[in-house]
């Protein structure tokens, strides 16, 4: 057996507990001096640290230690600590000491004496050992149990790396499992990539205040997940402010700025009182910008600044205000494409896509149909108060269909389908005829969806009269660009971005004006129609 490594103790001089120079001092428990007579803890070296003004006491204590244990070498180190309760001062002094000290953990065992010094110093020691800046073990000492204080006291060591702390680590990991399950609403999903995504989301949600972007097809559960992320942060005390949710597609025109950033009383006609705005309401909480791709260009610029500096100027205000919120954003649009179309700022996209999670559609998670089915039936029961179940044959039939079906609107279709079957189930029992009928209904709906021309997703207002699908696609995009632009020229520049490069005198505004007039539109009416368009495309396959 190899010989035990020699012990080296690092400790602070206890300006109260270690003091005393009369002979009575030997009747008192002095933690640093007592180190020299611990049974089973021979100390080869003591690195004794002390603050300004304690040189004499440090030397005195070192002498007493020498008397008790001549084989213990005491090295004195004076530290520049002015305030033992100032975290920064104490931490940096101890950190500098640790950095400059030559540790040799292969040949020596280091023990950090925690008993002396302020509570702040104890916390700093802990952090330094935990981060392995000091490759040591914590050492705690206490007075003797007997009333006779001239007897040696006791000691215990705490090795933060030892396996006995696995129990704590296990508790951490079961907490993580609990959090992951919370994000999944308790549904025991089986799809490996979805489960991995949720595990990462859990980590990010709890450890990073950076924006989180949730992408994925309509009905995949982005909005629901955003709410869960907030609730998880709240449970784990990462936020104490509110959850503020806004669908950016509903923010239109001048009122969008004031809805988001607030306004001062009298900022514009009709502003009879001031309004805090959603960003300020979300202070210390979470702002969820759903459909973020729909945000107008002025709002995008202001949001970027608010994200970078946590400050912004409310409409009509002459002073900036502060809001510490963390951002969640959701969209089913391709934001990269919107950037290339000039509809979304690249710098804003760069700021919000540090943590991007693409929530898969239901058809990409066939393994999860069954657990979701059980969850949905239980949910229906809580809503209707009635227990509904499948008979065996019907369930198999439905599962076979459902695991191969496209589910273009994902959980919206899935939830509605189960709700219909539950409603129609004779005596609360879903049988095969009910399933067959439902499958037919779904297939009819989906074939209608995919037969629908793409432009219905951006339904052009009826006022524009009957328009060929061919033209409608172009017109709807032009209208949307107008809605996001500040002027006819601005819209023209975006719409003719490529062809204008080849022209010595591009007149995009004129080109656009002529195009609009063919549809009996001017720029401002184009903007109004553009704003009323939903640019969302249903997830038809």
Ligand X SMILES: Nc1ncnc2c1ncn2[C@@H]1O[C@H](COP(=O)(O)OP(=O)(O)OP(=O)(O)O)[C@@H](O)[C@H]1O
Instruction: Kindly tell me which of 54 and 372 has the beta carbon lying closer to ligand X.
Output: 372
User: Least distance (Å) from ligand X to the CB of residue 377?
Assistant: 11
User: Least distance (Å) from Mg ion to the CB of residue 222?
Assistant: 5
User: Least distance (Å) from ligand X to the CB of residue 282?
Assistant: 19
411 contact, one of Mg ion, ligand X, none, CB 5-8 Å limit per kind = ligand X
Q: Which of 78, 137, 176, 223 binds Mg ion (CB under 5 A)?
A: 223
245 contact, one of Mg ion, ligand X, none, CB 5-8 Å limit per kind = none
User: Least distance (Å) from ligand X to the CB of residue 11?
Assistant: 55
Q: 357, 337, 332, 133: which is closest to 219 by C-alpha?
A: 332
179 contact, one of ligand X, Mg ion, none, CB 5-8 Å limit per kind = none
**Maximum Cα–Cα distance for the chain, whole Å?**
107
Q: Which of residues 283-342 bind Mg ion (CB under 5 A)?
A: 290
Q: 361, 357, 358: which is closest to 410 by C-alpha?
A: 361
Q: Which of residues 72-91 bind Mg ion (CB under 5 A)?
A: none
Question: Footprint of ligand X on this chain (CB under 6 A)?
Answer: 185, 187, 216, 218-224, 330, 332, 372, 375-376, 411-412, 415
User: Least distance (Å) from Mg ion to the CB of residue 89?
Assistant: 49
How many angstroms separate the CA atoms of 446 and 443, rounded? 5
Enter the DSSP assignment of 138: E
How many angstroms separate the CA atoms of 335 and 291, rounded? 10
412 contact, one of ligand X, Mg ion, none, CB 5-8 Å limit per kind = ligand X
Instruction: Kindly tell me which of 242 and 415 has the beta carbon lying closer to ligand X.
Output: 415
User: Least distance (Å) from Mg ion to the CB of residue 353?
Assistant: 18
User: Least distance (Å) from ligand X to the CB of residue 452?
Assistant: 16
How many angstroms separate the CA atoms of 195 and 73, rounded? 57
Beta strands in 54-168 (DSSP E): 73-78, 109-113, 137-142, 154-158
Instruction: Kindly tell me which of 331 and 363 has the beta carbon lying closer to Mg ion.
Output: 331
299 contact, one of ligand X, Mg ion, none, CB 5-8 Å limit per kind = none
Instruction: Kindly tell me which of 120 and 249 has the beta carbon lying closer to ligand X.
Output: 249
Cα separation of the two ends of the chain: 71
How many angstroms separate the CA atoms of 522 and 515, rounded? 10
| Residue 137 interacting with Mg ion (CB under 5 A) | no
Enter the DSSP assignment of 275: B
506 contact, one of Mg ion, ligand X, none, CB 5-8 Å limit per kind = none
64 contact, one of ligand X, Mg ion, none, CB 5-8 Å limit per kind = none
535 contact, one of Mg ion, ligand X, none, CB 5-8 Å limit per kind = none
Q: Count how many Cα atoms sit within 13 Å of the Cα of residue 290 in the half-sphere of its side chain.
A: 18
How many angstroms separate the CA atoms of 392 and 36, rounded? 76
H or E segment to which residue 245 belongs: strand 243-247
Query: Is-contact 302 315, C-beta < 8 A?
Result: no
Q: Count how many Cα atoms sit within 13 Å of the Cα of residue 471 in the half-sphere of its side chain.
A: 9
Give how many residues touch Mg ion by CB under 5 A.
Answer: 3
137 contact, one of Mg ion, ligand X, none, CB 5-8 Å limit per kind = none
Query: Is-contact 48 61, C-beta < 8 A?
Result: yes
User: Least distance (Å) from Mg ion to the CB of residue 419?
Assistant: 19
Instruction: Kindly tell me which of 290 and 376 has the beta carbon lying closer to Mg ion.
Output: 290
Enter the DSSP assignment of 2: P
User: Least distance (Å) from ligand X to the CB of residue 320?
Assistant: 32
Q: 328, 281, 283, 325: which is closest to 183 by C-alpha?
A: 328
Instruction: Kindly tell me which of 221 and 492 has the beta carbon lying closer to ligand X.
Output: 221
Query: What does the binding site for Mg ion look like in residue numbers (CB under 5 A)?
Result: 222-223, 290
């Amino acid at each position: 057996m190899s010989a035990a490594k020699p012990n080296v103790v690092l400790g602070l001089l206890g300006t109260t507990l270690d003091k005393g120079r009369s002979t009575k001092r030997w009747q008192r428990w002095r933690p640093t001096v007592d180190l020299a007579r611990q049974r089973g803890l021979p100390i080869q070296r003591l690195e004794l640290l002390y603050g300004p003004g304690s040189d004499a006491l440090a030397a005195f204590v070192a002498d007493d230690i020498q008397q008790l244990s001549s084989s213990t070498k005491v090295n004195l180190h004076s530290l520049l600590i002015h305030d033992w309760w100032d975290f920064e001062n104490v931490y940096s002094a101890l950190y500098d000491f640790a950095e400059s000290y030559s540790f040799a953990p292969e040949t020596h065992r280091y023990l950090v004496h925690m008993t002396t010094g302020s509570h702040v110093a104890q916390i700093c020691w802990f952090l330094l050992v935990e981060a392995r800046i000091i490759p040591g073990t914590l050492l705690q000492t206490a007075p003797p149990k007997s009333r006779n204080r001239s007897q040696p006291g006791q000691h215990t060591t705490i090795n933060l790396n030892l396996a006995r702390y696995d129990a704590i680590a296990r508790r951490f990991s079961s907490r993580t499992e609990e959090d992951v399950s919370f994000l999944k609403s308790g549904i025991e999903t089986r799809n490996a990539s979805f489960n991995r995504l949720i595990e990462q989301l859990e980590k990010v949600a709890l450890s990073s205040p950076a924006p989180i972007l949730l992408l994925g097809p309509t009905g995949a559960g982005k909005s629901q997940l955003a709410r869960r992320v907030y609730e998880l942060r709240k449970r784990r005390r990462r936020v104490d402010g509110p959850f503020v949710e806004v669908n950016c597609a509903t923010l239109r025109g001048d009122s969008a700025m004031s809805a988001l950033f607030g306004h001062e009383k009298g900022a514009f006609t009709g502003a009879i009182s001031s309004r805090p705005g959603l960003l300020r309401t979300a202070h210390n909480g979470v702002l969820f910008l759903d459909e973020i791709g729909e945000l107008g260009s002025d709002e995008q610029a202001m949001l970027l600044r608010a994200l970078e500096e946590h400050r912004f100027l409310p409409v009509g205000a002459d002073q900036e205000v502060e809001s510490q919120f963390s951002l969640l954003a959701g969209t089913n649009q391709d934001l990269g494409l919107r950037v290339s179309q000039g509809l979304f700022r690249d710098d804003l996209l760069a700021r919000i896509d540090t943590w991007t999670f693409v929530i898969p559609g239901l058809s990409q998670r066939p393994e999860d149909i069954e657990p979701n089915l059980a969850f949905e039936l239980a949910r229906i029961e809580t809503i209707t108060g009635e227990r509904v179940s499948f008979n065996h044959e019907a369930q198999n039939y439905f599962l076979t269909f459902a695991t191969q079906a496209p589910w273009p609107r994902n959980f919206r279709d899935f939830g509605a389908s189960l709700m219909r079957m539950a409603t129609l189930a004779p005596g609360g029992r879903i049988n095969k005829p009910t399933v067959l009928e439902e499958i037919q209904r779904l297939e009819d709906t989906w074939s209608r969806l995919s037969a629908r021309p793409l432009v219905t997703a951006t339904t052009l207002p009826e006022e524009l009269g009957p328009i060929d699908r061919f033209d409608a696609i172009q017109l709807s995009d032009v209208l949307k660009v107008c809605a996001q632009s500040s002027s006819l020229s601005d819209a023209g520049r975006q719409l003719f971005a490529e062809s204008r490069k080849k022209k010595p005198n591009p007149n995009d505004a004129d080109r656009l004006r002529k195009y609009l007039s063919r549809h009996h539109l001017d720029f401002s009416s184009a903007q109004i129609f553009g704003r009323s368009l939903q640019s969302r495309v249903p997830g038809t396959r």
